[in-house]
Amino acid sequence: MTETAFYILLSLSAPRHGYGIIKHVEVITKSRIHLGSGTVYGTLNKMQRDGIITVFADEKRKKIYEITDMGKQLIKAETARLKELHENALKYEEEFL
């Protein structure tokens, strides 16, 4: 999973509009990542096609994105992979200093 896809999916811990996802990613990455709308909506469209998220309209007819059970399984698996990567990086980092 790309870093962009990971953070978009992570942002769906609560249902959000596209702009809300963009802002949430900026907050949780301390402004390290600034997602463009084209990137976000392209990724969201692919996630919807793959069954990772669902989309519905709110009372103002704005699209709201929500993670599915499949998406939750995917983020859990990716988080486990990243934890392993982090543990191994810490274990071997001194060999590269």
Q: How many domains does the chain have?
A: 1
Domain extent, residue 16, equals 3-96
User: Which helix (DSSP H) or strand (DSSP E) does residue 39 occupy?
Assistant: helix 37-49
The Cα-based distances of 80 to 11, 74, 76, 77, 87 in angstroms read: 17, 10, 6, 5, 11
Is pLDDT at 88 greater than 90 in this prediction? yes
What is the CATH classification number for the domain harbouring 33? 1.10.10.10
> What percentage of the chain carries pLDDT values higher than 70?
100
> How do residues 43-79 score in pLDDT, each as one tens digit?
999 999 999 999 998 778 889 999 999 999 999 999 9
